[in-house]
Amino acid sequence: MATLPAVSTNESAGRRWLPLVALIIVVLALAGAAEFAPIVMQRRITQGLINLVAVVGLYVFVGNSGVLSFGNVAFMAIGAYVSALLTMPAAAKGVFLPDLPAFLAAAEWPVLGGALAGGASAALVALVAGFPLMRLSGISASIATFAILVVTYVVLGNWTSVTGGQNSLMGLPIYVGLWTSAGWAVAAIVIAFLHQESRSGLLLRASREDEVAAVASGVHMVLHRLMAFVVSAFLSGISGVLLAHFLGTVRVETFYLDLTFLIMAMLVIGGMRSLTGAVAGAIVITALTELMRQAEVGVTIGTTTLAAPGGLGDVLLALLMLLIILFRPDGIAGGREISWPFRSSVAAPEIQSRKPQ
């Protein structure tokens, strides 16, 4: 890719990086606060940060291209399984997967290598699958990504010698805690931001606005879509790795429709047209789900337990998504990036005072 055209003024150069800094601060503050929280709460926040990586990964493609992807959870699954197979102790693999090819059976990679290999494998699958699929547009492209999800699910669920099929893989090194997930969340935000600010990201957003006008301006849309799809798959793969090594087990059922809906709801509710929206969605929905979970457990007073009916959380999530789509289609962030409050209040009246022509 060619270099980024230099921004020609100092003023916008500094302000450009502001959303990135703000989002990193939010993530670090969240993790820092969790440090003082009870262990259960800490685990919830860790899980929230893993979700954040997944949502940011989804955003890289969906937000910039305007094409919905139902396939990113498949990339999570690929990342999770690849990392699991590379990092599990050989002894554990001998028990669960006796038919594993020799090079995999013996592999005991360091966890970071496993994570990167997981992300890279997901990216590679996205590259191969995306090559034909990125030529489709609109709803056909979305349906095609759904096919990726289904195919991956079926393959992983039946490739018994390598994945254990429907059985869980257990004994993964559990190394993902609060700060590992926070570190990857920051990394994901940086990668997504750099992609968004790159020439490729800009050209892709132009094609989201107006495909014909963008292509007529010289944008090679398929190429930039494919590039975003690959970056998106890498981050989704990483989030799958994190989830696997947070739980210590991998099951193919984890990576299917429920998770797809959850990640997508986070992006839609937060706002799919800005990175701020992706981050906000992950945080807000994780917090809400946690509240609902506690409501479903209920409070015990004496001998009676007051609890919300089971499944309330899912119903509320669906309801919230519906309300957002109806009344605030650009989500919580409204398609904008985070900025200092006083900056935006300076910009606002300027728009109002525009001379009518």
Partner 1 sequence: MTVPRDLTSPGGRLVELGGLVIRYGAIAAVQGVDLAIDAGEAVAIVGPNGAGKTSLLSAIAGIVRPSAGSIRIAGRPLAGIALSDVVREGVALVPEGRNIFGSLTVMENLRLGATPRRDASVSADIDRVFADFPILGERRDQPAGQLSGGEQQMLAIARAMLSRPRLLMLDEPSLGLAPNIVDKVYDILRQIRSQGVSLLLVEQNAARAFALADRACVMSRGVFTLAGTPAEIERHDAFDAAYFGVAMAKAGAA
Q: What residues pair up with 170 in beta bridges, in sequence order?
A: 249
* Residues 182-201 within binding reach of partner 1 (CB under 8 A): 199
Least spacing, CB of residue 95 vs partner 1, in Å: 54
221 belongs to the binding site for partner 1 (CB under 8 A): yes
203 belongs to the binding site for partner 1 (CB under 8 A): yes
Query: The tokens 């685990």 sit on which residue?
Result: 43
Q: How many CB atoms lie within 10 A of CB 141?
A: 21
Instruction: Choose the stretch contacting partner 1; rule: CB under 8 A; options: 87-95, 105-113, 216-224, 303-311.
Output: 216-224
347 belongs to the binding site for partner 1 (CB under 8 A): yes
219 belongs to the binding site for partner 1 (CB under 8 A): yes
Q: What angle do CA 141, 147, 151 make, to 5 degrees?
A: 150
DSSP assigned state of 355 = P
212 belongs to the binding site for partner 1 (CB under 8 A): yes
304 belongs to the binding site for partner 1 (CB under 8 A): no
Instruction: Choose the stretch contacting partner 1; rule: CB under 8 A; options: 71-79, 100-108, 162-170, 202-210.
Output: 202-210
- Count of residues of this chain found to bind partner 1 when the rule CB under 8 A is applied: 34
In the complex with partner 1, which residue's Cβ is closer, 51 or 198?
198
Maximal C-alpha separation, the chain: 76
Least spacing, CB of residue 347 vs partner 1, in Å: 7
Which of 91, 216, 326, 346 is the binder for partner 1 (CB under 8 A)? 216
Q: What residues pair up with 47 in beta bridges, in sequence order?
A: none
12 belongs to the binding site for partner 1 (CB under 8 A): yes
As a 3-state breakdown, the chain gives helix, strand, coil percent values, each rounded to 5, of: 75, 5, 25
SS3 label, residue 356? coil
In the complex with partner 1, which residue's Cβ is closer, 130 or 157?
130
In angstroms and rounded to an integer, the radius of gyration of the C-alpha atoms of the chain is: 21
b/e burial code for range 61-79 (CB count within 10 A of at least 16 → b): bbbbbbbbbbbbbbbbbbb
Least spacing, CB of residue 19 vs partner 1, in Å: 12
Q: How many CB atoms lie within 10 A of CB 155?
A: 15
> Residue type at 231?
V
Contact 54, 72 (CB under 8 A): yes
Least spacing, CB of residue 268 vs partner 1, in Å: 17
* Residues 257-296 within binding reach of partner 1 (CB under 8 A): 273
- Interacting residue ranges for partner 1, rule: CB under 8 A: 2, 5-9, 12, 15, 199, 202-203, 205-206, 209-210, 212-221, 273, 335, 347, 350-351, 354-357
